[in-house]
Structure 1
Amino acid sequence: MSSKKLKVIALIPPPDEVVDVPLAQDFAACESELGLALPADFKQLLSTYGKGSFLDYLFAYPLAGSDMSLQKNKLLREGHSAARAKSPENYPYPLYPEPGGLLLWGGTYDGHSLCWLTSGAPDEWPVVVWHQRDSNYHLFRRGALAFIIDWLEGALPPHALPAPPPGAGWFESARRLREAYMYLDGGLGNFRDRVRLLHQAFGPVQARGSCTGEGDYDHEEHFSTAQNWRITYSEWPRGRLIRIAFPPGEESAARAAVMSVYPKLGHTLRHVQTAQGRHVWTD
């Protein structure tokens, strides 16, 4: 077992039930399709954790489905072809399957694309964090596993990826979940008062980490409920947000619970939407 694998396991123990663990033939089939060998540390990552996410934020693409595929990366290149032709300065790296191009291996729920720069030996490929919305790139001369370790330890520059909450550490295997984002105004007391009320309303809860930004109104709290719903409560200068993630069959219960909670915090409701921006729960 490599030292990097031992370190990431020490920081984040693998889940009790690992899902979608690739077999040797799965790696071989993926490499054959891509025409590239995959880095050994990435294989260790998927073999140890399977499909899921670190801290409800960072994830590696599984081999199953279309995530780590030739077609997905071709579509990525084709989708940027017009923009590259118009503003080539925004694309300092080639895109796979161009020689040495960026190849997707993971991402974050903030929309960062985690890529390898596929030049040289696979085990020496550096990681590039690409935020496609604003054409920002950050190059790290390390592999995927070392990159994740640095992120977990808060060693990455904050402009590359937001640091995780201090002392937080978990990996959650993939589940089929729906998400609802409740945008709110107002509120009783301060942030910690409202978090306490939320914990009481949804209790018992399990803390999943918190973080504080640079401003007076820039806080975030993560926790899970006895039903294993995942909840994030955020405060920022323009308002408040409750994000709740739940299995599809529990939407009615999740909706009833969160709709009964926000008035207890002194909030008024703006709207509720999905991650894709579609308004829901309007009746």
Structure 2
Amino acid sequence: MKIAYSPCPNDTFVFHALTHGLIEGAPSFDVTYADIDVTNHLAIESDPNQHDVMKISFAALPWVLNDYALLSCGGALGRGCGPLVLTADEEHHPAYLRGKRVAVPSERSTAYILFRLWAAQQVEGDIGEIVVMPFHDIMPAVQKGDVDAGLVIHEARFTYQNYGLHKLVDLGDWWEKDTGHAIPLGAIIARRSIEQEALTGWIKQSIDYAWENPQASKDYVREHAQEMDDDVAQSHINLYVNEFTKELGEEGYEAIETFLYRAANDGLVPDTHLHKLRD
């Protein structure tokens, strides 16, 4: 079975057992490691037969629900784990972004959709230019003044101070206060032709194995963590692997629906296939 997910610690932690033959009855897996912006484009633009299972952004779901089903486990939702908007100067007012150049990791990411929803509510007037760049290039670009602000994700929550940068807004904090919901970040999708009950069961067993044997995946996580400090990698896992990873539940589905219907209402995503979210 072909699976694609990011090399980030939360994904390698969750899928270690599944992709290393540790789950009884599960098939072997051919793994593609790719940042979520890459998997978003693969899911939207490539042949659906190219990958059986993928980790993508929840923001990309409306484009793929005809071919892929959202699985109820394995993904990333949470609280206190949202994207940040950073600046080089200690700015604390949204108006600073009017007419500015803002670097973002993708225009089809949860982070970007949250940013646009927040900006529509909080920034009077138009933001200037949106510059898409790999997420690991964003903080250096803000630091050097190549852009005025940067939208960051992942471990940047723990490291942005190392670049002398300042937090303009925590978009997750804004989202939670505005809606009361957790933040929908990464979704696990599978081709609709695959028997989903068995696949979901294998992923849940992989999550349980990871929690019960936290040292077992340590070398695998470190191998793919892109020189990330072990403590930062563990903080990453602690933040993004939680009860929603094991089971979205009603609370998780409501958060996803609120996010996507809001985005569709603002013209940021299509609403064509949103009725298939729970199919």
Shared fold per TM-score greater than 0.5: no
Give the TM-score normalised by the residue count of structure 1: 0.24
Q: Higher helix proportion, which one?
A: 2
Q: Higher strand proportion, which one?
A: 1
Higher relative contact order (CA 8 A, sep 6+): 2
From the CA coordinates, give the structure whose radius of gyration is larger: 1
Give the TM-score normalised by the residue count of structure 2: 0.24
